[in-house]
Structure 1
Amino acid sequence: MKCNVGGIDRILRIAVGALLVALAASNVIGLWGWLGVIPLATGLFRFCPAYTLLSVNSCGVSSDKSSSSK
């Protein structure tokens, strides 16, 4: 898996995901809040399968290992 979630995108995913999970755990928004696990996981792992399908990369820098200097 190559990194395709970067900087601000990652922070927002983690914050929104954690907020949704916390609200669901406290029964404020119900079971739908557990969907917050998805953005939380994609933010923590820095990989989003939907971004791969759409050819989106918010990392800004290519995460390809072959382009590193020798």
Structure 2
Amino acid sequence: MTLPKNVGAMDRNIRLVAAGILILAGLMTGKIILDILGLIVLATGWLGFCPAYLPFKINTIKNSES
């Protein structure tokens, strides 16, 4: 099963930076929820697929990226 790509380059970069910040904040504060959220955001950025976009038919990939 292949996941349809629906996360564009800019969206992906923002997610990867946000994931790093969340994971780092979770490690520094000891709050596991921040680490879990960071891992979810990291996974969506790395895979290029966001399941939350599916019901709303959102696709941030520009035509030149596909």
State the SS of the aligned residue for 2:29. Answer: coil
Give CA deviations for 1:12-40 in whole Å, capped at 9, x if unaligned. 00100111011111226x23312111111
Report the AA paired with residue 8 of structure 1: M
Unaligned runs of 5+ residues in structure 1 are 64-70
Over the matched positions of the two proteins, sequence identity in percent amounts to 34
* RMSD of Structure 2 on Structure 1 (CA): 1.7
Structure ID, larger Rg: 1
1:1-70 paired onto structure 2 within 5 Å: 1-27=3-29, 30-34=31-35, 35-61=37-63
* Pairs aligned (count): 62
Give TM-score, length-normalised by structure 2: 0.80
Q: Which runs of 5+ in 2 are unaligned?
A: none
Give the ranges of 4+ consecutive aligned residues of structure 1 lying more than 3 Å apart after TM superposition: none
TM-score normalized with structure 1 length: 0.76
